[in-house]
Amino acid sequence: MMNNDDRVVFFDIDGTLLDTSNFAETARKAAIGIMVDNGLPLDKDEAYGVLKTIIREKGSNYGKHFNVLTQVVLGHEDPMLVALGMTTYHNVKMALLRPFPETIDTLIYLKSQGYRLAVISNGITIKQWEKLIRLNINSFFDAVITSEEVGKEKPNKLIYDVALRKMNGNPEKSLMIGNKFKADALGAVNAGLGAILVNSDITEEDRAYIKKEKLDITIVDNIGDINTIL
Ligand SMILES: [Mg+2]
């Protein structure tokens, strides 16, 4: 009997399994609105601009954007405003959290084909599991490998190597599915895996590069098209 245990499909989460269009922006704007309504002394557009600068400087995975916002605007941290901002941000984000319409059917299909599934994500491990659990798709995945755990972000080869080792995957029979050309597709092929791009904003230049270098990267419109390839 053929042994298929070493075939692993790795997924990116945001923009791949999960529809994140305008997601963070909507949640941040709602948080700012509440903070301004409760005394943060700026108008909403100004406050949103300051917040965006803080996010750019600290990175999106930094956990204290609203703390810094009150420090910058007031000269000191305001715990009540920070808590209002954080709660609103979290609630709005959770309310908007949804898989793409074809995500669950595709995961069921891949399991039926004998693939084992895992996630490779640039982010915080507990937060990424939280997204899978809230989407009710956590049971499809055997592991979540993150940049927090590995210490390097996609497209660094190390995160792919660690993921393959953790899953006992054969790179030649495994692939990465993601929405970012560099992080997901180039990173994966550099580590010896194939790649499928979904919902990507890939440029003509990138397409020409894939062709010229004969890279094992397939481009499809969305996650529902995976079953035409695997
Ligand atoms: Mg993504």
Distance CA 138, CA 141 (A): 6
What is the whole-number distance in angstroms between the Cα of residue 75 and the centre of ligand 1? 36
What tens-digit pLDDT sequence spans the chain (230 residues)? Answer: 455 689 999 999 999 999 887 788 999 999 999 999 999 999 999 999 999 999 999 998 788 999 999 999 999 999 999 999 999 999 998 889 889 999 999 999 999 999 999 999 999 999 999 999 999 999 999 999 999 999 999 999 999 999 999 999 999 999 999 999 999 999 999 999 999 999 998 999 999 999 999 999 999 999 999 999 99
Residue in this structure with the two tokens 């405003």, named with its chain if needed: 81
The answer to whether 224 and 105 are in contact (CB under 8 A) is yes
Could you tell me the domains of the chain? 8-19+99-228 (3.40.50.1000), 23-96 (1.10.150.520)
In this structure, the number of other CB atoms found within 10 A of the CB of residue 186 comes to: 20
pTM score: 0.83
Annotate 142-184 with DSSP letters as a single string.
EEEEEHHHHSS-TTSHHHHHHHHHHHT--GGG-EEEES-IIII
What is the whole-number distance in angstroms between the Cα of residue 163 and the centre of ligand 1? 17
What is the whole-number distance in angstroms between the Cα of residue 14 and the centre of ligand 1? 4
What is the whole-number distance in angstroms between the Cα of residue 179 and the centre of ligand 1? 5
